[in-house]
Each structure stands twice: as C-alpha cells, then as structure tokens.
Amino acid sequence: ETGDLFPMPESGENMLLKRNDIDFECTLPVGGKLWGKGFLYLSTKRIIFVAVKKSCRQDFKSFEIPLGTMRSPKFNQPIFGANYLSGKARPASGQDQGGPLAGGSAPFSLTFNAGGCG
C-alpha cells in the first residue's frame, strides 16, 4: 500500500508488526471522545494507531500509547464480535500538563476487525 502514513521511530525503537482494519476509541479525561479507523503499529516502545479511513475530527491522525504508561491492559476475545485490546492510556512523564490526556488516564480500545492480532 503506497502513500500510507508511517510513525516516526524514536531512538532505539523497532517496529514489530502492523495490523490493518483497526477501530480505535478513547474517552478523554477532560471529556469528549476520539475514534477512528486505520492501522495499528506495535513497536518495542509503544502502540501507535494511525487513522487513515475515517476519524472523529479532520485533525485526528494518530494516537500513541507508550508501553510503560499503559495501565490495566486486557485482551478481550468475545464469543460474537472481533477481538480487541482495552486498557487505560496515561500521559507520558512530563506531558501531563495540557494535551488530550491532561487530568488523568483515558480508557481505550483497539478492535482487530480483520482477525488476527499477533
């Protein structure tokens, strides 16, 4: 797929896998909700969602969850419906003043609509 957005790797970070057809949803601590359809990237440091098909706002392009700040991760396998990863995203240290996660953690879910997850 040409022309796809790709996350900029951080120093010492390696991208491990990419999954298509992902639904993302996150309820922000200050109110409001972010959602979108796109890709998921898993790296050695974080999970990155990239909105490519549809999103709640024109300026919502991506959301990253550093693995060290993720709380209560749970891989859900419902009898009916697609598998999904849920948990709480917390602001990275030094980023809790301002920004979408100001004020605490935000519940999120990443749904694997195309099957597979690993």
The pLDDT tens digits along the chain (118 residues) read 446 778 888 899 999 999 999 999 999 888 889 999 999 999 999 999 999 887 887 888 889 999 998 999 999 989 898 999 999 998 766 555 566 666 778 999 999 998 766 5
Give the span between the Cα atoms of 86 and 1, in whole angstroms: 28
- As beta bridge partners, residue 55 has 36
Q: What is the pLDDT of residue 2?
A: 46
The per-residue pLDDT for 59 is 81
Please give the CATH number for the structural domain made up of 15-112.
2.30.29.30
| Closest C-alpha among 109, 37, 113 to residue 82 | 113
Confidence (pLDDT) at 56: 83
- Single pTM value for the model: 0.85
What does the block give as tokens for 23?
């639904």
